[in-house]
Amino acid sequence: MPTPDLDLTVAADLISRAQSIIDTATDELATRGGVDANQAFAYDLAHAASAVATARFNLDYAARGTTEANLTAAFLADALANIASRILGRETLWGLTNDWYSPFASFVETYRDPKFLASLAETPGERHLDEQFQMVADTFHRFADNVVRPHAEHVHRTNGDVPEDVIQGLADLGGFGLSVPEEYGGFADGSESDYLGMVVATEELSWGGLGIGGSLITRPEILTRALVSGGTEEQKQSWLPRVATAEVLGAVAVTEPDYGSDVAGLTTAATKTAGGWLINGTKTWCTFGARANVLLLLARTDPDRSKTHRGLSLFLVEKPIGDGHGFLFTQDASSEGRSDANGRLEGRPIDTLGYRGMHSYELSFDNWFVPDSHLIGGEAGLGKGFYYQMAGFENGRIQTAARAVGLMQAAYEAALTYAQNRVVFGEPIVNYELTKVKLGLMAAIIQSTRQYSLGVAKLMAKGEGTLEASMAKAYVCRAAEWVTREALQIHGGMGYAEEYPVSRYFVDARVLSIFEGADETLCLKVIARRMLELRQK
């Protein structure tokens, strides 16, 4: 019996009902003492809310055609089933009665039917980008296919560096200037195209390779937005044109060994000296720290620790280009006319199971001198570094969501191709229902999270969408783990044996829920807290 066409009115009503459940649970969370007293509940609630928001943003997409409607229906049914699994046995905690699921039962049964999901296996759907952004997608896709992919596997297997021809090629495309305002030599004109272009380009580059493609333009994005937010006009004129051409390649030095997401507790100190500042302390997880020739570094300029984030300032710290497998640099204070002790900067690489090429480092600063001109915002920027840094990170979460979408797309395509060609028991495994169901759900998740990411980018262009960007990051990064796992599973032993790129996709996906805000911290400290604030207004 054929599956009935999606009734958009019914879908919208179910999403509204699901949102009511989220609202009820949020109120219940408040009465039970808030996030810190109910972390498991708050975490589940944040993910459930993210799923509902993703489904809501896809209603317009569903109206574009049958395939679009089917993908949206499959996503919504799966999201509702996932929410149900979080609530089951905890109905009282969520403030619900035992019959809460009744309005959703028929829809979920219809659109989670294995035969329906199997029918979507080879129908990933159109993106429906307008002509301008389709051109962006095509341009960066060609670059990813012709330049990034030929290097991606070798860099991963050898733990190598990002090849210079990838960096230069991306610079020639203007990839490093996507967020740099036009008046400083970039392509940003202040419209929604700034955000949409970044999301579209990031997805395509991540399809080519997460470590040496999709993440390569993240650092200049953060550096640019921090400078635009807080930099003096002189600093913008000096730095932004060089960022746009990749003359300056940046890395971000915020995290410390004892302070990850808890930025307010940072201890790396910047102490005033004649003509500048001396940096002392340790930073960790500084991605791209060797190849970069400038670090965006957050340091404590006020020794009063009780001022927490209000005692932090942001610096542009110049350094030589280092060896990808460790480096040590020194500054000769006397030759620079200073009476301070000589400066020292050491970088120790941190080996990781995936996300290779960029390399992450632990950086040790010992009296490393930074001139006054490199304090972002100048004297007026003292104590405002946290806010400038957050402005730099503003787009990081939606960009990470785009990276996850690109990675999932690569995994889905690899799994589909392998399933079409791998013959088991006399026929291609793509003909088996279980394989089709996996591929169909992959297609629904990828397209739905893509459309959500594009929708959130439009909100952010209006100065909105901060909560939605966090939700997109939380949901899609967890989804990427499932998609890449199942893509590897479809490859069987060949996936586990590293014979195909799918094993790289699998280990690369694991980092997505950790960087740009660890999943737990993001859900508890950002999403759930903001949901409570909005309900209490």
Mark whether 91 is an active-site residue. no
pLDDT at 310: 87
CA 418 – CA 420 distance, rounded (Å):
5
Residue 224: name the closest of 256, 204, 269, 194 by CA: 194
Burial degree of 269 (CB within 10 A; 0-12, 13-18, 19+): middle
Residue 321: name the closest of 84, 524, 162 by CA: 162
pLDDT at 261: 58
Here the tokens at position 149 are: 């992919």
CA 109 – CA 111 distance, rounded (Å):
6
Q: What is the pLDDT of residues 220-241, one digit of tens each?
A: 889 998 999 999 999 999 999 9
pLDDT at 191: 84
Domain spans in the chain, listed from the N-terminal domain onward: 250-393
pLDDT at 259: 65
pLDDT at 305: 76
Those residues of the chain that have pLDDT short of 70 are: 1, 259-264, 394
pLDDT at 265: 75
pLDDT at 260: 56
Residue 81: name the closest of 69, 73, 93 by CA: 73
DSSP state of 278: E
Are the beta carbons of 386 and 317 closer than 8 angstroms?
A: no
pLDDT at 531: 96
pLDDT at 363: 97
pTM of the model: 0.94
Residue type, 448: S
b/e for 116-144, b at 16 or more Cβ within 10 A? bbbbbbebbbeeeeeeebeebbebbbebb
Name the active-site residue from 68, 221, 362, 516.
516
pLDDT at 86: 97
Residue type, 529: R
Residue 364: name the closest of 289, 462, 310 by CA: 289
Q: What is the DSSP string of 35-53?
A: TTT-HHHHHHHHHHHHHHH
Residue 49: name the closest of 15, 74, 77 by CA: 15
Are the beta carbons of 412 and 501 closer than 8 angstroms?
A: no
Q: Could you tell me which CATH number the domain at 250-393 has? A: 2.40.110.10
Are the beta carbons of 254 and 389 closer than 8 angstroms?
A: yes
